[in-house]
Amino acid sequence: MRTRTLTLSAAVGAALLAVATLPASASGTATPRSAQEGSVSAAALFAKVTSCSQISSGKYKTDDETSATIPVCGKNGAVFWKADMDIDCDGQVTSKCSADTDPWFQDDTAFHQSNGQPLRADSTPYVVVPSTSSIWKYTSSGIKGGGVVAVVYNGKVEYAVVGDTGPTKIIGEASYATANALGIDPDPETGGTDSGVTYILFKNSQVSPIESHSAAVSLGDSLAKQFLANN
């Protein structure tokens, strides 16, 4: 739920941090760190999204100052886009996600846990979808809060849920936990990656409870198999 501007200094800082980043085991989070979640490989999923049948009325930017070059694409049973990853740390206040760690922090998410509380960005892998606009209305494509997302990056698959909404003209954002599981620097201010992330959102899916990562992986693996069979 934020609008970011990737400044030169932030980009340089991210690059320096990427070089000096600690190994995954030193992160201290409980997020799964497996290179492969489920039984469907990143290569198999990626092979099905090599071409785009654009369903959005326009294209999105990855950051405020970039050009609008990212379409939302349609497939049987899913929509997808290929973009960057900015880090969303919104939701419950934790040691890793708060106004002290994130200049854009907001203490709420568009979709809530089963107990009514906002999602916890440092432990729940979730993806941000653009808020409804003339470019695209995500609900019209069968995408809803708690829907399953296969996030593919650098040969890895991480299953996440649709957990938050963002700016109407920007795309490419996911929670601290999503980035951390994929080996992307999860720092909400200087982390993320500029490109190479594929987001595959499965239509008419919903994880219950939304905060259960094991449920997301189980449903995601099943839907990924269907996706391969139907495309």
Question: Which of 6-10, 35-39, 86-90 has the highest mean predicted lDDT (pLDDT)?
Answer: 86-90
DSSP label at 26? G
pLDDT in tens, 42-100: 999 999 999 999 999 999 999 999 999 999 999 999 999 999 999 999 999 999 999 99
Pairing of strands 173-175, 78-88: parallel
In a domain, 8, yes or no: no
Lowest mean pLDDT among 30-39, 122-131, 187-196: 30-39
Residue 10 within any structural domain of the chain = no
> Measured in Å, how far apart are the chain's first and last C-alpha atoms?
32
Q: How far apart (Å, rounded) are the C-alpha atoms in residues 96 and 60?
A: 29
**DSSP code of 23?**
P
**Helix, strand, or coil (residue 60):** strand
Instruction: With a cut of 80, say whether residue 106 has pLDDT above it.
Output: yes
For residue 192, tell me if it sits in a domain: yes
Q: How many CB atoms lie within 10 A of CB 62?
A: 24
Q: State the CATH number of the domain containing residue 156.
A: 2.40.40.10
Asked if the bond preceding 32 is cis, omega within 30° of 0, the reply is: no
Question: How many domains would you assign to the chain?
Answer: 1
Domain span holding position 105 = 33-230
Indicate whether 28 belongs to any domain.
Answer: no
